[in-house]
């Protein structure tokens, strides 16, 4: 029988909700919380619990997964007026899943450490479908001792757990490198598909060729298929890669690195957000570049 222990998840949107559903169906009975109460309640169908007082549930749990959007929300969940950190017992594990800057990760881990609370940095990649089936990537940075305690949970969440290092912040560095490449690939895919459209090519046929040829990328195929079909319901909001590529450029600047593509891709996402596409799927870049 697999090992389980009490777990909380705070933030059950697309990714957090998929993770909670997976844990629930694996018998973990995670206690879940979201600012949108109905999201938490809907996960009870999958075996999750939706307590009114998540702070009390966290106190009684071994680990709390934070799955919100950014550093400001993470800090609010932990240290804000209703933050859970003051009540967490020494030895409690906070699993940080948002994509935030390495400096923010280090600062949050330091503040938790002063309270005797452990940090596992575990940014994720792959989208809600892969989070649901356990095939998303987790980029884990924490001490070996904490990793050993948390490994049953991490293994339940994903079959692709990458042990990055013992230095918190390295998970964020790895995720930002990955997401900058994802952003570059997506902008490139949208650009060439917009070009194909201008040339009068059939977009589905063109993408068929690309998927079996040297131009293939997972994110390009995934997003462009949906965009061609006119499906812009957000699996990943445009704002996310706008945020993440911006964070990646900031991280690059902090180590004195300037590349030829990353900043250009980041600017495209920023322009799309300013054009009113923030709440659409990031595949909406195709339409944005077809009709600039």
108 touches 138 (CB < 8 A): no
Q: What is the mean pLDDT of the chain?
A: 96
User: Considering only CA atoms, which of 123, 128, 139 is closest in space to residue 43?
Assistant: 128
Percentages of the chain per state (helix, strand, coil), in multiples of 5: 55, 10, 30
* Average pLDDT, integer, range 93-105: 96
Question: With the C-alpha atoms ordered 207, 211, 217, 221, is the resulting torsion angle positive or negative?
Answer: positive
Residue whose structure tokens are 């699993």: 95
Indicate if the pLDDT at residue 131 is higher than 90: yes
Tokens matching residue 53 = 């007082």
Tokens matching residue 220 = 């390009």
Bridge partners for 160 per DSSP: 137
Q: Which residues contact 271 (CB under 8 A, 6 or more apart)?
A: 288
CA 101 to chain centre: 13
Q: What is the pLDDT of residue 255?
A: 95
* Average pLDDT, integer, range 19-30: 97
Residues 151-171: tens digit of each pLDDT: 999 999 999 999 999 999 999
114 touches 146 (CB < 8 A): no
Tell me, what DSSP letter sits at residue 43? G
Tokens matching residue 270 = 């920023």
Tokens matching residue 279 = 């709440």
CA 183 to chain centre: 14
Residue whose structure tokens are 């600062």: 107
138 touches 154 (CB < 8 A): yes
* Average pLDDT, integer, range 108-133: 96
Q: How confident is the model at residue 188 (pLDDT cuts 50, 70, 90)?
A: very high
Bridge partners for 65 per DSSP: 9, 95
Select from 3.40.50.720, 3.40.190.10, 3.20.20.10, 3.40.50.300 the CATH code of 7-168: 3.40.50.720
Indicate if the pLDDT at residue 1 is higher than 60: no
Q: Which residues contact 231 (CB under 8 A, 6 or more apart)?
A: 281, 283
Q: How confident is the model at residue 127 (pLDDT cuts 50, 70, 90)?
A: confident
Indicate if the pLDDT at residue 212 is higher than 90: yes
Q: How confident is the model at residue 225 (pLDDT cuts 50, 70, 90)?
A: very high
* Other CB atoms within 10 Å distance of the CB of residue 51: 15
Single out the catalytic residue among 60, 160, 175, 243: 175
DSSP reduced 3-state for 66:
strand
Burial class (CB in 10 A: 0-12, 13-18, 19+), 252: middle
Q: Where along the chain do the CATH 1.10.1040.10 domains lie? A: 175-290
Tokens matching residue 131 = 């989070």
Looking at the domain that runs over 175-290, which CATH code has it been given?
A: 1.10.1040.10
Q: What is the pLDDT of residue 264?
A: 98
> For this structure, is 175 an active site residue?
yes
Whether pTM exceeds 0.85:
yes
Q: Where along the chain do the CATH 3.40.50.720 domains lie? A: 7-168
């Amino acid at each position: 029988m697999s090992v389980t222990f009490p777990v909380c998840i705070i933030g059950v949107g697309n990714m957090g909700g998929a993770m909670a559903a997976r844990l629930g169906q694996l018998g973990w009975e995670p206690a879940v919380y979201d600012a949108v109460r109905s999201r938490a309640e809907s996960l009870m169908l999958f075996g999750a619990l939706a307590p009114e007082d998540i702070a009390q549930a966290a106190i009684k749990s071994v680990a709390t997964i934070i799955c919100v959007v950014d550093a400001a929300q993470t800090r609010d969940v932990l240290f804000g007026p209703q933050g859970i950190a003051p009540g967490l017992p020494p030895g409690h594990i906070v699993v940080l899943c948002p994509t935030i800057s390495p400096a923010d990760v280090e600062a949050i881990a330091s503040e938790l450490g002063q309270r005797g609370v452990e940090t596992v940095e575990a940014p994720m990649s792959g989208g809600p479908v892969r989070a649901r089936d356990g095939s998303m990537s987790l980029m884990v940075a924490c001490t070996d001792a904490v990793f050993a305690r948390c490994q049953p949970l991490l293994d339940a969440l994903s079959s692709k757990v990458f042990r990055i290092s013992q230095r918190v912040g390295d998970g964020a560095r790895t995720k930002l490198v990955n997401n900058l490449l994802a952003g570059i690939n997506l902008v490139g895919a949208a650009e060439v598909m917009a070009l194909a459209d201008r040339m009068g090519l059939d977009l589905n046929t063109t993408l068929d060729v690309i998927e079996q040829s040297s131009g293939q990328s997972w994110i390009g195929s995934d997003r462009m298929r949906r965009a061609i079909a006119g499906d812009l319901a957000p699996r990943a909001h445009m704002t996310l890669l706008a945020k993440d590529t911006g964070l990646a450029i900031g991280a690059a600047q902090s180590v004195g690195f300037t590349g030829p593509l990353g900043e250009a891709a980041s600017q495209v996402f920023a322009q799309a957000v300013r054009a009113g596409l923030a709440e659409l799927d990031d595949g909406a870049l195709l339409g944005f570049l077809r009709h600039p």
